[in-house]
A = this chain, B = another copy of it.
Amino acid sequence: MTTVEPVADTRTRLLATALRLFSEHGVEGTSLQMIADELGVTKAAVYYHFKTKSEITEAVAEPGIRELDELVVEAAKHRRHGARVDHLLDGFVDLVVRHRVLVALFSSDPGIDAALAKSRHGVEGFKQALISIVAGEPEPDVTARVTAIVAFTGIAMAGGAPDLAEVDDETLRQELVGVGRRLLGRPRRRVC
């Protein structure tokens, strides 16, 4: 532990700044100039850290994509349908609360898809996976699909909503899990 309180390196600050600007103006609405200005450096400095704008977008999305990926894999392992839904909902809400605007961006910004299209995993696949798990695999009925879409996009967007920015993590987590369970028809949990 040679350095205490290390100032976040430029790459880290860059990604945090990019995420904030993406959530305010959208990916396509955010230029490298805006990111550079916000960081107090020039565009060329930004290009030292990332070869293209698409790389920045991918790097911003990466933690969310990775965690979402793991979550879907883990949730699918449960034998019972109810257990799968519980695991998925708890994990998804946890992800939303920890990343707030990022998961909302997945649900709403076409620029994310465009950037991820070139890399291995698009975001559209996850939406399908989430719906499949809660709505059931073979030809889920319309009600189940609508419910799943409303629940997960609603929860994701709520995490990024400015109106809820001041709500603390633990409270938001409980509220979102509560509303999710009601929607997905999961029984109320005993308060332990």
Contact = CB atoms under 8 A, between A and B. Distances in A.
Interface of A: 24-29, 107-111, 114, 127-128, 131, 142-143, 145-147, 149-151, 153-155, 157-158, 161, 163-164, 167, 171-172, 175-176, 178-179, 182-183
B131 A145 contact: no
B163 A176 contact: no
Q: Return the 3 tightest CB-CB contacts between A and B, nearest first.
A: A154-B154, A108-B108, A28-B29
A142 B146 CA distance: 25
23 contacts: A24-B110, A25-B114, A26-B26, A26-B27, A26-B28, A26-B110, A29-B29, A29-B111, A108-B108, A108-B109, A142-B175, A146-B175, A146-B176, A146-B179, A147-B175, A149-B157, A150-B158, A150-B183, A151-B154, A153-B154, A153-B158, A154-B154, A157-B157
Contacts of A142: 167, 171, 175
